[in-house]
Amino acid sequence: MHLQRVNYLIEKLVAGSISSSEQDELFIWYKEVAEQEIVSSETEEEIQIRIFFRLIESTGYNQQLDLKSRNIKRIWYGVVAAVASMLLIGFVMLYNLKAPSEVNLQYVEHDGKPDYMPGGNRALLRMEDGEVIALSTSKTGIQMDKGLRYTDGDGLGASIALQPDQVQQLQLIIPRGGIYQVILSDGSKVWLNANSTLTYPSQFVGAERTVSLEGEAYFEISKNGKPFIVKTAQQDINVLGTKFNVSSYSNRNEERITLVEGSIQVKSAFGAYLLHPNQELITDAHKSIQQDTDAEDAIAWKSGIFLFDNMKLADVLLRLADWYNVDFEFKEERLKSELIFALVKRSDQISVVLQKIADTDVAAFDIQKTKIIVRKKRN
């Protein structure tokens, strides 16, 4: 991250005006600097001192403060005591700040009752040099046409502009509670669901167009004569021009590819498969199964709908966990296998969604500030 950007974010942190996405961006930079060469035998005090010194060096403030000519430990205590500069205040605040993943901004209380708000437009863009940009929550996506900008035409900022002939490997990172779109340089459109990452080039060069996915995404691939390949942990998906959905989360037992339009070839460890519209390929550690399905069900999330059609409760709650950024704790293992059929809006608060599931009498839910308890429904 550029030093000008770091200092800008620290100013907002100190002023109390930093947004959640900007806090994520600053924390990612902070962790990259702070976690270098941490020795397990060091005391917390020693770690704090060394992290502080490295942070000062990373922003160039060591030249202004002439830190290298002083005793580091004495400087640390002097800074903490005086908190004289805005920069140092920011670092002290950041050091004591919980990781963004531990501070759930979707948690709310209504009349003293805990609840979780739905996710929204939230994403980070990692550049090839490691710089991480928090994308605007007021935008729905970015595009790679003639540089890098939002889909409404607004720029992302001069510091991260890309030249049309400059090829970089980029990562669009969607955290839990997020959703975002990217239009690739060939015009192909990709919608990413929560807790997903797409790795792709700023420009496609060569005989193939290749991207990598972890998580879930819906693809609309433009035709230009070059094969488009989506790589997941278990499979390669080869297309020319088509519409399909891919679900490939590392914490799930299976990958699922669903074809909406066109045709795709899929290669897995268990063979090669040709999919036609309204077919899906389900692959786990032991096999791949090709079967008919209603493709619109698989992309309901893109239209703002949760559609659970005879889905195990454990799988349902994994999807809710990603969207509402909250974890579930089962009190009884058998509840995980209960089958759910429900149609709910992703714009609803989680209490509304869970009540609809509870109305089926399969389980009850106790919403807490840090997690949601899943238990047997009382008679």
Q: Are strands 288-292 and 279-283 parallel, antiparallel or unpaired?
A: antiparallel
Q: Is residue 110 part of a domain?
A: no
112 found inside a domain:
no
DSSP track, 189-236: EEEE-SSEEEEEESS--SS-EEEEEEEEEEEEPPPSSS-EEEE-SS-E
Residue 299 lies in a domain: no
Give the span between the Cα atoms of 201 and 168, in whole angstroms.
5
Q: What is the pLDDT of residue 5?
A: 73
pLDDT of residue 111: 85
In a domain, 297, yes or no: no
* C-beta of residue 28 within 8 angstroms of C-beta of residue 132: yes
d(CA 22, CA 169): 22
CA distances from 202 to 57, 205, 220, 260 (A): 32, 10, 17, 26
Which tokens in the block code for residue 33? 């600097």
Could you tell me the CATH number of the domain that includes residue 318?
Answer: 3.55.50.30
Shared-domain flag, residues 193 and 211: no
Our CA angle for 20, 146, 196, nearest 5°, is 40
Q: How many domains does the chain have?
A: 4
| Residues 137/119, Cβ–Cβ less than 8 Å | no
Whether residue 128 is found in the same domain as residue 95? no
Cα separation, 41 vs 140, in Å, equals 46
Per-residue pLDDT, 310: 87
Residue 109 lies in a domain: no
Q: How far is 12 from 6, CA to CA, in rounded Å? A: 10
Q: How many angstroms separate the CA atoms of 362 and 355, rounded?
A: 11
How far apart CA 299 and CA 158 sit, in angstroms, is 35
Q: Are residues 71 and 7 located together in one domain of the fold? A: yes
One pLDDT digit (tens) per residue for the chain, 379 residues: 565 676 677 666 655 667 766 766 766 665 555 444 444 444 444 444 444 444 444 444 444 444 444 444 443 344 333 333 444 444 444 444 444 445 577 889 888 899 999 999 999 999 888 888 889 889 999 998 777 889 998 888 644 556 666 788 999 999 999 999 999 999 999 999 999 999 999 999 889 999 999 999 999 999 988 999 999 999 999 997 899 999 999 888 899 999 999 999 999 989 999 999 999 999 998 999 999 999 999 999 999 999 998 899 999 999 999 999 999 999 999 999 999 998 999 999 999 999 999 998 999 999 998 899 999 987 6
32 and 131 Cβ atoms separated by less than 8 Å: no
Check: CB of residue 8 under 8 Å from CB of residue 29: no
**316 alpha-carbon distance from chain centroid:** 19
Query: What is the CATH number for 242?
Result: 2.60.120.1440
Same domain, 212 and 194: no
Cβ distance 181 to 172 under 8 Å?
A: no
Domain that holds residue 69: 3-102
Select from 102, 137, 156 the last residue of a domain: 102
Shared domain check, 141 and 176: yes
Q: Are residues 332 and 316 in the same domain?
A: yes
Question: Do 186 and 197 share a domain, yes or no?
Answer: yes
Domain assignment of residue 113, yes or no? no
Is 107 within the bounds of a domain?
no
From 203, 235, 252, the end of a domain falls on: 203
DSSP string of 252-291, one letter each residue: SS-EEEEEEES-EEEEETTEEEEE-TTEEEEE-SS-EEEE
Q: Is residue 295 part of a domain?
A: no
Q: Where among 171, 203, 235 does a domain terminate?
A: 203
Kindly give, in sequence order, each residue whose CB lies less than 8 Å from that of residue 76, ignoring residues fewer than 6 positions away.
48, 49, 52
* Alpha-carbon distance values, 18 to 4, 126, 141, 323 (Å): 16, 20, 21, 23
The secondary element (H helix, E strand) that includes residue 306 is strand 305-312
C-beta of residue 118 within 8 angstroms of C-beta of residue 349: yes
